[in-house]
Amino acid sequence: MKELSFFFDFSSPFAYLASTQVEAVAARAGATVRYRPFLLGALFKALGGPDVPLFAMPPTKQRHARDDMFRWADFHGVPLKFPSRFPINTVKSLRMILQLDEASRAPLLHALFHAAWVDDRDLNDDAVLIDIAASVGLDGAALVAGTKNDAVKAQLKAATDEAVKLGLFGAPTFMVGDLLFWGQDRLAFVEKALHGWRPRGE
Amino acid sequence: MKELSFFFDFSSPFAYLASTQVEAVAARAGATVRYRPFLLGALFKALGGPDVPLFAMPPTKQRHARDDMFRWADFHGVPLKFPSRFPINTVKSLRMILQLDEASRAPLLHALFHAAWVDDRDLNDDAVLIDIAASVGLDGAALVAGTKNDAVKAQLKAATDEAVKLGLFGAPTFMVGDLLFWGQDRLAFVEKALHGWRPRGE
């Protein structure tokens, strides 16, 4: 079975946009999506860059990046609202996802992305997180309690270390075999790769 | 007549990639391309960023950017060879373009991009520049002599100041009406805009 690894953090609007498309891309290629959360801020820190690259951009580039995310939302036909809190603290929400088997992560993942990037809900608020989990039939209280579990904390740390080791530098990132693609604007490349494309190298 | 402004510097591989596609994009929309050279390094300096953003990226991101340009070349079916000299000094080649009417810039533009990004020729060498101009039927000696003309120098300075004023922060950049699009990876958006798309804003 072909696999498409989808590396994401709920903190990224472009990861949200990717989340609205990635299953259709995989389905058209008969591939399975592997949902791989990691902590984007920790990756940035490991790479020595700014904590929030958006804020480090020149004002004109920052403006364009914001226009760009809304253009993509329009292009895909999906809703998007820039949240009133940004950057978003996503540690708890990522730890919730990690407590689920990869094969059962999708519903909670979509509910969390939607809460953050459409409904402007606070992913750092336990009551909100419990409610979101309940909305997809999960035991939110147990999952939120689990975010304080040392093994779960270590799991997020390990997932982020793995992202660094694999050569990630942003989110979303996709891997098809050993090909790494950064950005939801490369989903057309991802899809070609799932269909067997091996792009010419340097 | 619809117009598509194409802002470029020969120093950018992604501007080269754009140059291989921009006329087809415009033609499909019945639009005219306006070829607008500017000095990318001076724009970066004006914005206070690094002179060569590629070199300022974390190694993994730099590696991906290089893979990405070759993936796009493969995707478009066009040749690309990373030049032995980089960054490229493009001041003279840009000043040559500026001496031509906008409507007659395309042949020399394509010859210069091809020389830099396919044939690894030195755009800072007068003999090379004369030869490239001659290859498209122009008087290369006169154009190279013109690069030392104060009015031509001022024209490149003004073009770059205008790029800053318009809110550019990189190359290639496209404008359709007042919509600005950065990157050859946004040509699909450019084409939609030429066909009347007004993307939803924030």
Task: List, for residues B119-150, the tens digit of each pLDDT value.
Answer: 999 999 999 999 999 999 999 999 999 999 99
CB contact under 8 A, A58 and B49: yes
Chain B residues in contact with A200 (beta carbon < 8 A):
70-71, 73-74
What is the distance between the alpha carbons of residues B55 and B65, in angstroms, rounded to a whole number? 11
Between chains, do B167 and A64 touch, taking CB under 8 Å as contact? yes
Share of chain A above pLDDT 70, in %: 100
CA separation for the pair B16, B6 (Å, rounded): 11
**Where residue A201 falls among pLDDT bands split at 50, 70, 90?**
confident
Q: Is residue B199 part of a domain?
A: no
**Residue B86: CB partners within 8 Å, gap ≥ 6?**
none
At residue A202, the pLDDT reads 84
Average pLDDT of chain B to the nearest whole number: 97
Considering only CB atoms, A202 lies closest to which of B57, B82, B182, namely B82
Report if residue B15 sits inside a domain.
yes
Question: Which region among A44-58, A175-189, B168-182 has the lowest average model confidence (pLDDT)?
Answer: A44-58
- Tell me the pLDDT band of B48, cut-offs 50, 70 and 90: very high
Tokens of A92: 């708890």
Residue B141 lies in a domain: yes
Task: In whole angstroms, give the CA distance from residue B140 to residue B132.
Answer: 7
In a domain, residue B44? The reply is: yes
Query: Which domain CATH number covers B143?
Result: 3.40.30.10
Element (H, E) at B6: strand B2-8
**pLDDT at residue A115 tops 90:** yes
Residue labelled with tokens 């030392």: B148
Residues of A at the B interface, defined by Cβ within 8 angstroms: 47-49, 57-58, 60-61, 63-64, 66-68, 70-71, 73-75, 82, 167-170, 180, 182, 185-186, 189, 192, 199-202
Average pLDDT over residues B150-176: 98
* Beta-carbon pairs below 8 A across chains A and B: 77
Name residues whose C-beta falls within 8 Å of residue A76's C-beta, 6 or more positions apart in sequence. A17, A20, A21
Indicate the range of A55-59, B4-8, B24-28 predicted with least confidence.
A55-59
Q: Residue B202: its chain A contacts at CB < 8 A? A: 66-67, 70, 82
Would you say residue B1 has pLDDT above 90?
A: no
Flag whether A202 is in a domain: no
Candidates A106, A89, A91; CA nearest to A152 is A91
- Paired with A3 in beta bridges are A32
**Contact residues on chain B for A43, CB-CB shorter than 8 A:** none
Interface test with chain B among A55, A60, A118, by most B beta carbons within 10 Å: A60
Q: Name chain B contacts of A75, Cβ cutoff 8 Å.
A: 189, 192, 199
Domain that holds residue B115: 2-194
pLDDT per residue as tens digits for the range B9-20: 999 999 999 999
- β-strand pairing of B173-176 with B179-182: antiparallel
Q: Is residue A8 part of a domain?
A: yes
Across the range A117-126, mean pLDDT stands at 98
Percent of chain A with pLDDT over 90: 94
The answer as to whether A199 is a domain residue is: no
Tell me if B42 is assigned to some domain: yes
- Please state the domain count of chain A: 1
Instruction: Tell me which residue in A70, A168, A200 faces B202 most closely, judged by beta carbons.
Output: A70
